[in-house]
Copies of this chain bind each other. A is one copy, B any other.
Amino acid sequence: MPDLPADAELARLRASIDNIDAALVHLLAERFKHTQQVGVLKARTGLPPADPDREAEQVTRLRTLADQAGLDPEFAEKFLTFLVAEVIRHHTRLRREADGRQASEQPS
C-alpha cells in the first residue's frame, strides 16, 4: 500500500479498530448469554458460583491460544480475570435470587 498521509492512515486504522470492537461487543454479548445459562444451572443445582479448577484450565488454554495468535499471554490472562469477575458477580446475584425464592417458599 502506498504511504498515506498520517491522518488518513490513522483514520484507516481506527475504522478497522471500530469494526473489531463491534465484533468483540457482539461476541461478549453472546458469551454472557451462555454464562447466564451456566449461572441459572448452578443456582438451580446448588453449585457454587466460582469454580477454581475450571478457571485454571481456562487460563492455561487461553494463554496458549494467545501465544499462538501473537497476543501477550499476560494480557489474555488479565482479560479472562476481568470477564470471570463479571460472571461471578452475575452468578452470585442469581444465587441470592434463587435462595430468596426458596426462603419465601418455606412455611413461616
Contacts and interface: CB of A to CB of B under 8 A. Distances in A.
B70 A33 contact: yes
B9 A41 contact: yes
A91 to B, nearest CB: 12
A75 B80 CA distance: 14
18 contacts: A9-B41, A10-B47, A13-B35, A13-B37, A20-B31, A21-B31, A21-B58, A21-B62, A24-B27, A24-B31, A25-B69, A26-B69, A27-B27, A28-B66, A28-B71, A28-B79, A29-B66, A75-B86
Nearest to A24: B27
A38 interface: yes
A34 interface: yes
Interface residues of A, number: 48
Interface in A13-58: 13-14, 16-18, 20-35, 37-38, 41-42, 44-45, 47, 54, 58
